[in-house]
Amino acid sequence: MLVGLATLWFLFVSDKSTAGAAEASSASLQEQGDGLMKNVDEMVAHGGMGDAKAIIHHCGEAKRFAETLIRQLSASDPHRTNAMTPLNEVIRQCNRVSDIGIHADPGQLLNPATKARAAAQESMKLLGLTRTNKG
């Protein structure tokens, strides 16, 4: 009887932990998506102010968030295939920003930066993630 209760308890606990893991995964995707959007928005805002160093910094962070999102998307996620294209575009455009470099005219950095932001917005929409304002 004690073994049966222990087995039943184990099954109940293991069901709870897998449900929590699924929720944590969704929360983690949302957190990464928020980080991506925060950085692309700040990147473009700094572009308007002519701050090349900040554009490059925020684009590097946006690239890191996009790479993390790609790694976190499970192969079984129905949105994965569609979201991969814009996430890879974020990475590609941020690589362009980095290649252009800090000594370039900030206006020259703004074109790939705005393309990266548009791709990030598209990926958020395709993943079904909502933008949360954390002030």
The CATH number of residue 71's host domain is: 1.20.120.660
- Which domain covers residue 46, as residue numbers? 27-127
Half-sphere exposure of 105 toward its Cβ, with a 13 Å CA cutoff? 3
pLDDT digits (tens, 9 = 90+) for 43-93: 999 888 888 999 999 999 999 999 999 999 887 777 888 899 999 999 999
Q: Is residue 3 part of a domain?
A: no
Domain count, the chain: 1
Q: Is residue 110 part of a domain?
A: yes
Closest by CA position to 97, among listed 43, 45, 33, 41 = 43
Q: Is residue 6 part of a domain?
A: no
Q: Is residue 57 part of a domain?
A: yes
pLDDT digits (tens, 9 = 90+) for 10-27: 444 444 443 434 444 778
